[in-house]
Structure 1
């Protein structure tokens, strides 16, 4: 199998004038945390973690946060089909592995994994999976980079990360600001930490010992050189592993271009905060503030061949709209970011919120119809393990 030496260089990229509003600094000017800076975050913008906890438990006691039934959930699942070689395809192939995990194969030969979480329970207190991962962590034919959107345990699994490093010792991680400390403390040095609107170039060059061979005797030789342009971009969410590190590390989305194909991975994100008393698509809904970052992403980094956008964990809206997009929000995000096509994620794996677990794809079709867009072939839902080519 061919091996590659990796170099990564970073620099500030094109950004709007207000590109650092998300920084929180102490009196000495030291960066100590992050915020969602726009009115689209609604009442959560100035709410402490303690007060947010009180709101959650009050809604829970009032019966506003029912737990959906997963006992008969029918989430389509197929065996994945990864490319046998880094060469020979002119398409970008995206394979959904469950929840927010995607494996993406670029025509350049670049292979990337997003938010890998393969455990049955993503945390001790979390719910159990009601659908299995599409594959095992060692099933990828090659793996060059892993992109982490934020440190919530359903997106960053320390267990999966440690196993992946053992299986793919040359893999490189990309994370948001202040997130690299855990990696370094655990002996993982191949980590690039980025702020919103930063760009990076990752270059892979075949080692001398592998240039005469190929990944497989029956396939074409691997490319001599592979490059990928990486951008870390905004989203509307948050971060926390314990009550003591609330919003101390940066969340965000990722844009990757390699081999003349581009992808935007939204991570976990809200779009607009829907307060109590307003129903989605009801009176007053269209006047609610939208997050402006998505249009800026479209203008400054788009268009993209494909977007990977969350459609689940949205109900009730008065509780989760600030941090989780509904299918209707997802369609507007798709339009704002100038994605030519999109695939859905962040549903069908764990019951995180109160909507029926099979509802998000139905709501997505409704949202596309309301927007006058094609209900299939534009923003699609695939089976766990299914690969889509663009």
Structure 2
């Protein structure tokens, strides 16, 4: 009998990963669906067509300016790509600067917006967090550019090392859920997410997916990665404490019968903010690549309505303009 590649756990059989079961489902790592529902969705004509190109106003703030002591500076590049600066540490999350999130640049989802900031205009990167291996989160061309210029450290869930090495990364740390790694006095913990992984038809769930809690100089920042809703938000709060800032996905949610197990909608994101007891939250994973059916501008509008309905201060959960740099705390 061959030795398992990964630790056997409630979310891994030693070779493949899955989402632990929760009340009301069987813990599927992705929607329980066959080929026909996918084909009916993709060719059924229900998708609201996004504009081919959106021109945003010049972004506010300066990504090169460090936050004050005890503060956090956050720059929205687009989709799930953010520049995060806290306590002298500069972090890039799921960087994608390419025109398409695809294995090829002549086919696949194309940007409706350019990156809010050009990579060459960003300060030196100390750490890159890669939440999982989907093409809209792990883009080899973008990773190669970061490695060439800055040679940062990388942290990613189990099973993704070979992809980061392919991009030229030298310092790679793989983590299972709840495992930690320390870099410059910052403690990074891989946190659970309800999602799945694949880059080809042959590697389904052969690598893990996660979020990350960064704890540094008394601050906690949660980058949630890509996730459906579930009890893991409350568990993250119970085990790691309330984030000072949580980056939570709010887009790519329609149709719900297919997307609910792997992508939150804005109402669920508002509930996740409450479960985490986050001091502030910022919406991510919207308005850049059309992956699902909802209109390009719907996620922030639905988020605002959800906050009102759930009695959450609108300033407590917001979105940034594309390219905007904003300070939190301090």
1:193 partnered with 2:174: yes
- CA 1:138 to 1:57, structure 2 compared with 1: closer, same or farther past 3 Å? same
Find the aligned partners of 1:48 and 1:38 in 2 and give their Cα distance: 13
CA displacement 1:352-389 (0-9 Å, x = unmatched): 111111011110011001101122x1100110111221
- CA 1:370 to 1:95, structure 2 compared with 1: closer, same or farther past 3 Å? same
Q: Which one has the largest radius of gyration? A: 1
Please state whether the residue corresponding to 2:97 is helix, strand or coil: coil
Q: TM-score when scaled to structure 1?
A: 0.76
Aligned to 1:350: 289
Aligned to 1:36: 19
CA displacement 1:27-81 (0-9 Å, x = unmatched): xxxx2010012236847718799x5433211333444x42423247565551551
1:135 partnered with 2:117: yes
Find the aligned partners of 1:350 and 1:184 in 2 and give their Cα distance: 26
Which stretch has the larger CA shift, 139-148 or 87-96?
A: 87-96
- Equivalent of residue 122 in structure 1, options 97, 101, 118: 101
Find the aligned partners of 1:266 and 1:88 in 2 and give their Cα distance: 24
Could you tell me which runs of 5 or more consecutive residues in structure 1 were left unpaired when the two chains were aligned: 1-18, 25-30, 204-226, 272-290
- Report deviation, 1:175: 0.6
- Equivalent of residue 335 in structure 1, options 253, 270, 274: 274
Q: Is contact 2:147–2:168 with CA below 8 Å preserved after alignment?
A: no
Please state whether the residue corresponding to 1:96 is helix, strand or coil: strand
1:45 partnered with 2:42: no
Find the aligned partners of 2:227 and 2:80 in 1 and give their Cα distance: 12
Aligned to 1:102: 82
Give the CA RMSD over aligned residues: 2.2
Q: Is contact 2:60–2:325 with CA below 8 Å preserved after alignment?
A: no
Aligned to 1:78: 59
Aligned to 2:12: 23
Aligned to 2:324: 386
Aligned to 2:226: 268
Q: Comparing both chains, which one has the higher relative contact order based on Cα–Cα distances under 8 Å and sequence gaps of 6 or more?
A: 1
Which ranges of 4 or more aligned residues in structure 1 deviate by more than 6 Å? 46-49
Q: TM-score when scaled to structure 2?
A: 0.90
